[in-house]
Amino acid sequence: MDWQKYNGEYLRIPIQDAVETAILREKQIGNKLKVYIGTDSQVKRRIIEMATVIVFLRQHKGGFMFIQKDKITRRMTIKERMLVEVQKSIETAYQLCHLLEKYDVDLEVHADINTNPNFESNVALKEAMGYILGMGFVFKAKPESFASTNCANRIVQ
């Protein structure tokens, strides 16, 4: 699946190369970056639309993101869908972690899962947290998971 910029322009190079180019460009102009990866999904007429984002925040200077969209046409329980979101985020983080370590860029993996047990998505909280932490990544859930809850959500709405 292809990655694109927020303006819809598709990346013409592999995501690892695009991320490395972005890191080098930002470091060269003196910006300190932090990276956040998250996925969100929406069910629309039996089709699950998903978006995974790699959000780059510059310290006190805004940010930018890369986006990957996907569609799934099979039914899923809410728990399964939440865990597929987490899986997509982890796969992306795993592809990039060696680069982020190389350039000393902090990474968080965000899950669109509510910490409040009154919400449906909470059924997947323990598994998602264990999966992300078990892979060695920093984990954030709602309300702190802006990469999935806000950025990726904006793409699938």
Q: Is the pLDDT of residue 131 over 80?
A: yes
Beta bridge partners, 11, equal: none
The answer to whether 27 and 56 are in contact (CB under 8 A) is no
CA 89/CA 32 separation, integer angstroms: 22
- Sequence-separated (6 or more) residues with CB below 8 Å from residue 69: 1, 4, 49, 50, 51, 155, 156
24 pLDDT band, cuts 50/70/90, is very high
Which one, of 77, 78, 53, lies nearest residue 145 by Cα? 53
Domain boundaries, the chain: 3-156
Whole-model pTM: value is: 0.95
Secondary structure of the chain as H, E, C letters:
CCEEECCCCECCCCHHHHHHHHHHHHHHCCCCEEEEEEEEEEEECCEEEEEEEEEEEECCCCEEEEEEEEEECCCCCHHHHHHHHHHHHHHHHHHHHHHHHHCCCEEEEEEEEECCCCCHHHHHHHHHHHHHHHCCCEEEEECCCHHHHHHHHHHHC
pLDDT (tens digit per residue) in 5-15: 999 999 999 99
% pLDDT > 70, the chain: 99
pLDDT at 107: 98
143 pLDDT band, cuts 50/70/90, is very high
Beta bridge partners, 34, equal: 57, 106
80 pLDDT band, cuts 50/70/90, is very high
pLDDT at 95: 97
CA 110/CA 115 separation, integer angstroms: 12
Average the pLDDT over 126-151 and give the result: 95
The answer to whether 88 and 39 are in contact (CB under 8 A) is yes
% pLDDT > 90, the chain: 96
